[in-house]
Structure 1
Amino acid sequence: MSKSLQRGSQSKFSPLALAILSTFFVGNARAENTVTPQPETAKNLEFDSSFLNVDDQSSVDLSRFAHGSSALPGVYKTALYINSQLVRNTDIEFKMRSDKSVYPCLTREIIKNIAFNYEKLPADFLIPSGNADQCLDLEKKLPQARVTYDTNEQRLDIVIPQIYMLTTARGTVSPELWDSGVPALLLGYNVNGYTSESRGTTYNSLYAGVNAGLNVGAWYLRHNGAYSGSNVGPKKYNTLNTYVQRDIPIIKGRVLMGQSNTLGMLFDTLPFTGIQLASDERMLPESVRGYAPEIRGIARTNARVTVRQGGQVLYETTVTPGEFLINDLYPTGYGGDLEVTVRESDGTQQTFLVPYASVAQLLRPGSSRYSLTMGELRSEILRHNSALYQATYQRGLTNSVTGYGGMQLSQNYYALQVGAAIGTPIGAVAFDATQARMHLGKSTDGPNRHDAAMSGQSYQISYSKMITETNSNLSLAAYRFSTDGYMDFMTAMQTREAVEQGFPADSIWRAKNRLTVTYGQGLPDAWGQLYLSGSVQNYWNKEGTEKQYQMGYNNRYKSVSYGLSVGRSYSSLGSTQTNYLLSFSVPLGRDDQRNIPQLRMDLSHDSSGRYGQQATVSGTGGADNQFSYGVTAMNANQGVGTSGSVNGNYRSPATAMSGTYSTGKGYHSASAGLNGTVIGHTGGLTFTPYTSDTFALIEAKGAEGASMSSYPGVTVDSRGYAVVPYLNPYQMNDIIIDPQGTAAGVELDNTSQKVAPYSGAVVKVKYNARQGTLILINSTYQGEPVPFGANIFDGKGNSVGSVGQGGQLYARVAEDQGRLQVKWGEGGEMQCTVSYVLMPIAKGQTQSQIQTFTSPCTAATSSTFQTSKLAKSDTVSAVNNG
């Protein structure tokens, strides 16, 4: 048996020798070879061992470097690079071929991180050559690929010819890699109780919104509804929709059956019951996400805000006094005004409309969007639901022109629309024309009864432009003109029903002109930002014009933010309301402090002569900002007097809680709420304070307490599960787990994985956690220190450590006792085993130290030490980790 490497200039490598070893072995092997055999010029290379300070040069196996196999077979933590781009950090197993070359075992989990063009790959590319447990040998499946492993950096580089890679925009993920998730039950909830008392009158209400679902395979069942009730009104449960859906990746679309809404890209959004087949832009490169407008308003007290569309409640919440912003509506389409009702604590309420109109739709050449809906109209304001057939199609014709069209059909109605969107140097313009005709039924006018019908046209032009030279943004300008006989689908159905009941056709208003504008202007030299928005609408059969405008100015001076806004509305009856608001906001602390409170001052005035002053202090607290609070004091004239309110929110690991209290002259009110999501799966129930549509279910048994990076407050619960919300469908999402917070001795195989879920999926991401103990073994082999740099493997073949200077073995072990295999070559004379027994840990205590042993490493072919013998002869001690 040959001797091992000698100590110092006799027992360990000198710094110069280490540099030569690192540069010569790794650098040359990497430069000339990959981890697999290369062309003939790179084969059968010999490395001169005289560069090493080795007494017996045969004690080190250098032949494996002739094949570029600088790594021994085993499992290594590796940084995976695809065409020089970092993809992930993970454990990769390296296996040996018959010619002693080593190749990485690329599992399907690893392969899915590579953006292959699967149409160009061999048909059997993803099929292992042997049994299902075997890995994919990339260079055998794809000889043009090159795989290189750098032991110094623990980096695996995979270079793949561009012909086999997707050439679409960065971030595009092949449908082959989309994940439909695991079977799961979902229950999203938003519960809010509200009470107020004003002048001896009590008002109590309860709202409970539910978003429930069941996922089985690629089929997703969804139900959205809400219970609402009060002591002065009816109590009922309202179903928004119930449907089942399934993605069809081959057509980049989705089929939906049940109750839902039309997409509203060309026609107004309509609720229906039936079947829908529609494309989803999120499946495409450079996808366009769903749109919903922001809702801004001013509440005088602790108020209840309800948002409706087409008579259906979409959203309901409690807001504190002052200006409020709602920007988290679920997209319901691109058309159909939103009706916003603000109910104040003193019983008064105000209602206003938020225009919800589409912008110019330009598509890339060759790309398209489509939708096909068949069913019947579903509306609470109609006695009878009519049939609804709708089809729309948009296609990019050239780089600057997109054509689109659609049709709507019912028993007595049709509408045809054609249009085009054009990108010009002065902005994007869309123009369309719609022809509609409605049979109203038998006319009762005159002595002769006859079929009455109305037909007409509607023309719309919209414009959008960002002018960088002047920092101007005309985000939406749309004008629509409709002739006297034109009716959209909903107006036509309401008109026909009115005629059937004996009312004249003019009892339902028919729109004539409508203009909506949103404009922003940045001022030079840090002078701030101006914005303007407004809408004007009139009708053929209704006197007056409805108008509303809002303009404002925002700026910042050092740490002080301030703004001025003016809003004016005109009703069709001629009444006018004007509101003014001046606001200031300043932090109550230094910029380098955490959780700094903010002070906001508001001064308001309206055309009725009311003046008001308001001061609010708000902030957050906790390491993850899980606490938030606000205290508000108000004063107003006209007998309103002084009032105040407090609010607080707490985001626990399981749910989000909120509470408010408000009091003023002659009234007081309070509210409390809960919201979050519960997911049921094969491992039980997992709670999260977040509500979302697409989730990742984390399974990390043994890593309880670990947190999920980028998701404050999401931690692995006591059963080893966590829920990550807000995943982007059809895109790769990085799911990163932070082991900080786990018990001592816990080690994760990897801390980052990627998933590309279907929309609505619950994808399972599993992290393997090992409960291990760090050990340091002073070991010798045949009387000499174990060779520096040797790899250490456990009984399962996993790489658990390496040998440092002076023959010190550093490893993490999972068992209380066992044997470790130390390898510095493939020959039997270049391997040995060492036994260990951990010191017992008292019950209730945790291991916070590195256990140190002194134990010889015996030849692999020899009998190993027995546990009893080791306990008697070896020195066992524990030293502090620091």
Structure 2
Amino acid sequence: MRKLSVKPARFKYHSFLFLFLYHINLACADNDSMPGNIAGHQVAFDSSFLNLTADTSVDLSRFSYSAGALPGTYKVNVYVNNQFLGSENIEFKSGLNQEVYPCLSFNLIKSIPFDHNQLPSDFFESEQKGSCFFIQKKLTDTQVKYDSNDQVLHIDVPQLYMSHIPQGMISPSLWDNGIPALLLGYNINGYHSESHGHNFDSLFGNLTAGLNIGGWYFRHNGSYTKTNSNSGRYDSINTYLQRDLAEIKTRLLLGQSNTTGELFDTLPYNGIQFATNDEMLPDSLQGYAPEIRGIANSNARVVVRQGNQVLYETTVSPGEFLINDLYPTGYGGNLEVTIYEADGSEQRFVVPYAVLTQLLRPGSSRYTLTVGELWEDTLSDKPAFSQLTYQRGLTNALTGYVGGQFNPHYYAVQIGTALGTPAGAFSVDITQSRTDLGDLGYNGVDNLLSGKILRGQSYQIRYSKVFSETKSNISLAGYRFSTDSYMSFTTAMQAREILKNGFSSDYLSRAKNRVTLTYGQGLPEGWGQLYMSGTIQNYWHKDGTDEQYQVGYNNTYNRWTWGISASRTLSSESKQQTNYLLSVSMPLGRDYQIHMPQLTSALVHDSNGRTSEQVTISGIVGDESQYSYAGTFANANQGAGFTGTLSGNYRSAISSFSASLSENKDYSSASAGMSGTVIAHSGGVTLTSYTSNTFALVEAKGAEGAKVSSYPGVKIDFNGYALVPYLNPYKMNEVSIDPKEISDNIELMSSTQKVAPYSGAVVKMNYGTKKGIPILINGTYNGHTLPFGANVLDSQDDVVGVVGQGGQVYARVKNEKGNLMVSWGNTLSSKCTIRYQLMPRMSGQSGIQTFNSICE
């Protein structure tokens, strides 16, 4: 079977020749004779335009019916009505008059999403397995066109015969569950500080281990923390086995994970869960983790916890910081953020983690079913529970939802509705709970609720609206009231634990009222943006309230960006702090510079009387943006003095490295870290500096050093592999190889492929390579240059090129010497043979060898 292999970035002789002749033909043709579709229309070419000698002619009839393809098998991307169908190996055959046409298989035709009620009754009749399916003869006005430059086959079918496909829909039959692989993602950070003669050392490591076999994905997430005051502790965040059920858009989870938190608060559990997965839907029909903002006064550690589990830890420079890469852990449950300053002081605040209103499209639904044990560190027992939620889009504006949580000593039932109106989107729900406290504890405790059954309600209303006329945005406003007898499942289990230990459950505070608001206001052009947010919550059996407020203003002038903000935190223990921030940033350099440093300055003042000024210069350098740096210089009152901090990051092909140093008259600190992923597969072990959930394993043997995709540092390694991170699951991802760094002795069979992976998969993408030495021959025949457009074949009768202008032959040969046949007709007199012998070369030497030869 013939295959035509052409290295990307080198011209394709057959395509070039076709386009050259085609434009010559158009130059001589009347406008009315211009073909609307090259494939399927005969085009006549006049060989006199090639300036051939009188005794030489070239048969150009093979270019009269096709878009430049020669007979052979090509891997092409197939599009139907501009929608991607898949990558297929298509055989191109030569028919009457030497026209070349794609042979469409029966299986390929069956994969097209036809409306079978509109197809002719004999559409699939009289077709034999293995034969070519001529769809143009079955459906009138259907066109099949091949673009050899982009290796794309277009099939255009009248819309009458097609079923409706949502935009961006990728058929589940095209989803790839990947190859067997072992994965290990790591993020390691070490920290050291010295203050007033005291040393502090810590080591933090976050690990994500996985095993993929078929469509089953095993994952384990854990963190290790060690300081000089303890011997080290490893916490298991979750361990689970996952499988996606594509037919019903559902994910199955077995093991430790979290409930989705769509109707009830997120619960960590150990058990089994079935839940619909919106990721499997196209973008036109469809998680969330909040951004965390704060202000550090020094080179500090920032730790994010949910409950007693550490979700995230990093080192930040002095000034304002932003954490926006938290892995989602559900839709509910507050995040506790702790800033450990280098001088030993701490800052703490809570980031609400809530969900917006749950409107669904009409006819669509979501459900979750969870059965397991509550995995809560504060409980000595692991109480069993089951949870069921269901949401249904009833109309275009109305969604209903119900849910329930069940335990032998507890149940809660929720019913609610979400409504979309011109005035905004609302959701209203009510939850009824029943808690059986049983015969626990003893009667010697005042206000003991032992033996009582508590029934209570929780009412909630939420609202969101974008007012485009006034550029206003209320992204979330909510109010929740819970009666004294209402308990969530976690609170109920904690109450039983308290009673069992002989205390009164009245000592357990429970939420009473909670109000949240996030509001943004755009001002007239050039005047910037206002924003504000706030949260207020009080409790049963606990005095005081927890309050958080923030208000700010941002604007841009020329290349300057500046903002001012104020935030206040008031805890139920009457601890209050107010922070004020003024920040200005600007680029240092010209607009045409590729890597432009950024200058950021900030003035910070808090209610404790502390004021600090900070200036930071940061930037990215390197041909592949592999280096980043930052220098921060700060000065503060109250004896803090001057602080200098330097930090840098280097992203190599195998890992990402970071380091920082900070110095003050009272303390000094340093940190170092590294992160990346290691994947073991059948071809060996491949490393990358990126941490991701879904990877493409690119195989291109011999293409060492070639850049892959658009991520810095992703290159083909010595073993012929590269890892491309951050693939969008269930969506088509295009992965390309740049051949510029490849040795001249290696030729890529293709440079671009597409794949739609399952979430968590490691999909293998094989880019075939051909090894050989490129040669460029200036050939003559009977004293004349070789005929332009003649085929060039090797000893295996494979087409390896076409004679170009000036009789030049470009070919790739495997042997040190051999023969190439040049053919420009069907007779013996229209064929000749070029003998070649390569020149000796030094080890590792590459490049095109050029020489003259006579074709005999």
Residue in 1 aligned with 2:768?
A: 768
Residue in 1 aligned with 2:25?
A: 20
Cα deviation for residue 465 of structure 1 reads 1.4
Residue in 1 aligned with 2:81?
A: 83
> Which of the residues 275, 278, 281 maps onto 2:272?
275
Asked whether the 8 Å contact 2:251–2:277 carries over to 1, the reply is: yes
AA in 2 matched with 1:20: N
Aligned: 1:645 with 2:645: yes
Cα deviation for residue 748 of structure 1 reads 1.4
Residue in 2 aligned with 1:835?
A: 834
The C-alpha deviation readout for 1:804-859, integer Å capped at 9, x for no partner, is 2454333344443344444556x4559635334242242235333451332316xx
Cα deviation for residue 211 of structure 1 reads 0.3
CA distance in 2 between partners of 1:359 and 1:203 (Å)? 42
AA in 2 matched with 1:212: A
> Which of the residues 135, 153, 161 maps onto 1:139?
135
1:84-103 mapped onto 2 (5 Å cutoff): 93-97=91-95, 102-103=100-101
CA distance in 1 between partners of 2:156 and 2:454 (Å)? 66
AA in 2 matched with 1:800: V
CA distance in 2 between partners of 1:437 and 1:451 (Å)? 13
1:353-372 mapped onto 2 (5 Å cutoff): 353-372=350-369
CA distance in 2 between partners of 1:772 and 1:237 (Å)? 53
Residue in 2 aligned with 1:392?
A: 389
CA distance in 2 between partners of 1:46 and 1:317 (Å)? 66
Asked whether the 8 Å contact 2:21–2:45 carries over to 1, the reply is: no
Cα deviation for residue 76 of structure 1 reads 6.9
CA distance in 2 between partners of 1:109 and 1:852 (Å)? 48
CA distance in 2 between partners of 1:292 and 1:840 (Å)? 62
SS at match of 1:719: coil
CA distance in 2 between partners of 1:49 and 1:663 (Å)? 80
Cα deviation for residue 573 of structure 1 reads 2.4
Cα deviation for residue 725 of structure 1 reads 0.2
AA in 2 matched with 1:200: G
The C-alpha deviation readout for 1:159-209, integer Å capped at 9, x for no partner, is 234366563332210000000001111000011111112122211111111
AA in 2 matched with 1:319: V
Cα gap change, 1:806/1:562 in structure 2, threshold over 3 Å: closer, same or farther? closer
TM-score, normalised with respect to structure 2: 0.89
- 618-627 or 445-454, which deviates more: 445-454
1:167-182 mapped onto 2 (5 Å cutoff): 167-182=164-179
CA distance in 2 between partners of 1:48 and 1:581 (Å)? 74
Cα deviation for residue 17 of structure 1 reads 10
Cα gap change, 1:408/1:203 in structure 2, threshold over 3 Å: closer, same or farther? same
1:31-70 mapped onto 2 (5 Å cutoff): 31=36, 34=39
AA in 1 matched with 2:631: V
> Which of the residues 71, 74, 83 maps onto 2:72?
74
Residue in 2 aligned with 1:148?
A: 145
The C-alpha deviation readout for 1:224-279, integer Å capped at 9, x for no partner, is 11111111235211111111111110111111111111111111111111111111
1:223-262 mapped onto 2 (5 Å cutoff): 223-262=220-259
Asked whether the 8 Å contact 1:336–1:355 carries over to 2, the reply is: yes
Residue in 2 aligned with 1:6?
A: none
Aligned: 1:194 with 2:199: no
AA in 1 matched with 2:473: N
> Which of the residues 398, 417, 420 maps onto 2:417?
420
- 659-668 or 684-693, which deviates more: 659-668
CA distance in 2 between partners of 1:559 and 1:197 (Å)? 40
Cα deviation for residue 654 of structure 1 reads 0.6
1:608-623 mapped onto 2 (5 Å cutoff): 608-623=608-623
AA in 2 matched with 1:654: I
1:725-764 mapped onto 2 (5 Å cutoff): 725-764=725-764
SS at match of 2:437: strand
TM-score, normalised with respect to structure 1: 0.86
CA distance in 2 between partners of 1:431 and 1:643 (Å)? 51
Residue in 2 aligned with 1:185?
A: 182
The C-alpha deviation readout for 1:33-69, integer Å capped at 9, x for no partner, is 845xxxxxx8xx8969798788999966577678769
Aligned: 1:853 with 2:836: no
SS at match of 2:741: coil
Residue in 2 aligned with 1:347?
A: 344
AA in 2 matched with 1:853: N
| Cα RMSD for the two superposed structures | 3.6
1:292-307 mapped onto 2 (5 Å cutoff): 292-307=289-304
AA in 2 matched with 1:215: N
Asked whether the 8 Å contact 1:564–1:583 carries over to 2, the reply is: yes
- 606-615 or 15-24, which deviates more: 15-24
The C-alpha deviation readout for 1:350-407, integer Å capped at 9, x for no partner, is 2111000110111111111111111111111111111120111111111111111111
Residue in 1 aligned with 2:4?
A: none
Cα deviation for residue 607 of structure 1 reads 0.8
1:567-582 mapped onto 2 (5 Å cutoff): 567-582=567-582
Residue in 2 aligned with 1:555?
A: 555
CA distance in 2 between partners of 1:560 and 1:265 (Å)? 41
**Structure 2: 5+ residue stretches without partners:** 1-16
Cα deviation for residue 96 of structure 1 reads 2.9
Cα deviation for residue 314 of structure 1 reads 0.8
The C-alpha deviation readout for 1:857-878, integer Å capped at 9, x for no partner, is 6xxxxxxxxxxxxxxxxxxxxx
The C-alpha deviation readout for 1:607-656, integer Å capped at 9, x for no partner, is 11111111111111111211111111111111212222111111111100
Cα deviation for residue 138 of structure 1 reads 6.3
Asked whether the 8 Å contact 1:694–1:762 carries over to 2, the reply is: yes
CA distance in 2 between partners of 1:375 and 1:306 (Å)? 29
1:365-764 mapped onto 2 (5 Å cutoff): 365-442=362-439, 444-445=442-443, 451-764=451-764
Asked whether the 8 Å contact 1:272–1:388 carries over to 2, the reply is: no
Asked whether the 8 Å contact 1:149–1:156 carries over to 2, the reply is: yes
Cα gap change, 1:163/1:32 in structure 2, threshold over 3 Å: closer, same or farther? closer
- 204-213 or 800-809, which deviates more: 800-809
Asked whether the 8 Å contact 1:360–1:421 carries over to 2, the reply is: yes
CA distance in 1 between partners of 2:812 and 2:449 (Å)? 93
**Structure 1: 5+ residue stretches without partners:** 1-11, 36-41, 858-882
Cα deviation for residue 339 of structure 1 reads 0.7
Residue in 2 aligned with 1:880?
A: none
Percent identity, aligned pairs only? Answer: 53
